[in-house]
Structures are given as C-alpha cells and as structure tokens.
C-alpha cells in the first residue's frame, strides 16, 4: 500500500481526536465548520480516511482469500479421505478370514496401547511458543498516543479482538507501517482460531520481507510458528530453520530448541 503524499502531520492529532470521538460537542461542531471552509484541513481529512480504509481493506481482503484457500483444501482432503476409505474396504474384503482379522486387530490394539504418546499440538505450542510482549510504555507514549496505549493494554490482558480494533484506528503514519502490520498479525495469531491464524500470515509475511525493518526477524519467527499452528509443516520447518540460522534474530535460540525437539510432524 502506497502512503498518501499529503503531509498529515500538522493535522494528525486533531484528526485522531475527531475520529476517536474525543472532542467535546463544541469542539466537534467547530471542527466540522473548519472542514467546510479550510481546503487544506479537508484534504488532510480525506487522506486520513483513505489511509484507515486501506488498512481495513487489506485485512478483509486477506481474510476472504485465506477462507477460499481453506475451502479448497477441505474439499481436497475430503476427496482424499473417500479414496482412502474405498481402498481400505477393498483390502479388507481380501483378508484371509475372520481369524486373521481378529489377530491383526489384537496386534494393532496392543501397539496402540504400548506406543509412546506424542504430545498434542496444543501442549507443544504452549511449551515452545514465545508470545510477543508488546510495545514498551516509553515507546507507546500514552500522553501522545492514548489509542495505541489502550490497544497494548488490551493485548497484554488477552483481549485480542478489542486490541486489534483499536490498533487499526491508529494511523500507520503515526506508528509506522511495519509496526502496524506486525502487531496486526500478532493480535490475529494470539486468538488461536484457525481462520485468525491464517489471516495473520499475510501481515507477518509482509514485515518479514522488509529486510530494512527492525521487526523483520521477529515477524519471521512468528510467521513460522503460525505455519506450524496451522499444520503447514514444510513452510513452518523452512521458516524456523531460517530463524535458527540467523544470529541477529532475537528468537534464534527458541527456534533451535523447537527444531531439536522434533515436535514438528514428519512429512
């Protein structure tokens, strides 16, 4: 997304207060009158509205795209499952008889009882995933960016939907596009629902591809973990290997520990 050429900085604080409903009735009325009379202010307002609309469009477009991909995958998986069932039925009909079936079933049951129990995905995720702690208070600067401060508080308290809603109301020009994209992805990933995890991936991927961004390495780790959580094992393994091989990545040790533990399913 290309940021607007118009310089919003002289008007940003006033536009944020108007958009967030922080003005008194008299201030809001006066501001609306100025919008009709001040061409520069009106242009700034239009640029601000376009910027926030673009961010909402990106989130909605990516979510729809991922839902369609998920539907295609589910249809493919259903067809594959039906094919496997038919093959098993044909194979069963060719068995030697009731005695052989009973013996095979008994051996299978014994193996299931005695085999080591693999940790569940949820247990492995809780053990190995290192959540993002959020922006520190001195970076947030609550007196200047109260909406961002509220979003960070809600994120730390586990109110991820509300946190994401408030974050999207903070202009990227006031926060930085990479930071806005990164924390949008983090807040979607933290909800741990399959659709939200898939929706988080495009945000984290865009930041990970911005080599000049200080958040690129952090985004790559969380992207790899999002792949794992969504059972995209090849993508997860490749992404986490890149993190483990990068000495500048703050999550290098965590990625190495996860790969050594062999908790990623074999393909």
CATH of the domain at 147: 1.25.40.10
User: Does a structural domain hold residue 195?
Assistant: yes
Q: Based on the fold, state whether residues 64 and 191 are members of the same structural domain.
A: no
221 has pLDDT over 60: yes
pLDDT given at position 2 = 42
The pLDDT of 176-195, averaged and rounded, is: 92
Domain contains 267 = no
Q: By C-alpha distance, which of 106, 110, 132, 262 is closest to 188?
A: 132
191 compared with 69, residue with greater pLDDT: 191
The answer, yes or no, to whether residue 140 has pLDDT greater than 70, is: yes
To the nearest whole number, what is the mean pLDDT of the chain?
Answer: 83
pLDDT digits (tens, 9 = 90+) for 89-129: 777 666 666 667 777 777 776 755 655 544 577 888 888 89
CA-to-CA dists, residue 156 to 133, 186, 201, 225, angstroms? 7, 12, 21, 19
Q: Same structural domain for residues 215 and 247?
A: yes
Percent of the chain whose predicted confidence (pLDDT) is above 70: 82
Count of structural domains within the chain: 2
Answer yes or no: do 21 and 1 share one domain. yes
Residues 148 and 66 in one domain: no
Q: Which domain holds residue 135?
A: 121-261
Choose the final residue of a domain: 110, 139, 174: 110
Which of 85, 110, 135 delimits the end of a domain? Answer: 110
Report H helices in the chain: 12-19, 25-37, 39-93, 98-114, 121-128, 137-140, 146-156, 160-167, 172-175, 177-190, 194-208, 216-229, 233-244, 252-261
For residue 64, name the pLDDT band (cuts at 50, 70, 90): low
The model's pLDDT over 20-38, given as tens digits with 9 standing for 90+, comes to: 888 898 888 998 888 889 8
If asked whether residues 140 and 97 sit together in one domain, one would say: no
Indicate the residue among 86, 110, 134 that finishes a domain.
110
pLDDT: which is higher, 72 or 83 = 83
178 domain-assigned: yes
Same structural domain, 185 and 212: yes
51 and 144 part of one domain: no
pLDDT of residue 209: 93
Whether residue 58 sits in one domain with residue 18? yes
Residue 238 tokens, joined? 């490749």
Q: Are residues 173 and 99 in the same domain?
A: no
- Predicted confidence at residue 175, as pLDDT, reads 82
**CB hemisphere CA count around 252 (13 angstroms):** 7
Residue 63 near residue 195, CB atoms below 8 Å: yes
- C-alpha neighbours within 13 Å on the C-beta side of residue 144: 10
Is 266 inside any structural domain? no
The pLDDT confidence band at residue 142, using thresholds 50, 70 and 90, is: confident
């Amino acid at each position: 997304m290309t940021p607007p050429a118009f310089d919003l900085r002289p008007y940003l604080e006033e536009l944020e207060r108007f958009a967030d409903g922080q003005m008194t009735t008299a201030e809001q009325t006066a501001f609306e009158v100025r919008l009709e009379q001040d061409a520069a202010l009106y242009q700034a307002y239009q640029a601000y509205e376009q910027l926030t609309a673009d961010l909402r469009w990106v989130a909605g477009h990516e979510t729809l795209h991922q839902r369609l991909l998920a539907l295609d995958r589910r249809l493919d998986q259903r067809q594959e499952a039906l094919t496997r069932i038919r093959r098993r039925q044909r194979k069963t009909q060719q068995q030697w008889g009731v005695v052989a079936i009973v013996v095979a079933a008994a051996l299978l049951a014994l193996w299931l009882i005695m085999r080591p129990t693999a940790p569940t995905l949820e247990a492995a995720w809780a053990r190995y995933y290192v959540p993002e702690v959020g922006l520190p208070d001195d970076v947030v600067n609550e007196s200047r960016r109260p909406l961002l401060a509220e979003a960070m508080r809600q994120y730390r308290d586990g109110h991820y939907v509300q946190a994401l809603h408030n974050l999207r109301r903070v202009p990227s020009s006031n926060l930085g596009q990479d930071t806005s994209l990164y924390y949008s992805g983090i807040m979607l990933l933290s909800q741990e629902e399959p659709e939200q995890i898939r929706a988080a991936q495009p945000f984290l991927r865009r930041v990970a591809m911005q080599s000049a961004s200080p958040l690129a390495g952090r985004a790559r780790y969380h992207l790899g973990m999002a792949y794992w959580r969504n059972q995209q094992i090849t993508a997860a393994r490749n992404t986490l290997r890149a993190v483990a091989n990068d000495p500048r990545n703050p999550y290098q040790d965590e990625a190495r520990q996860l790969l050594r533990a062999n908790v990623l399913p074999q393909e």
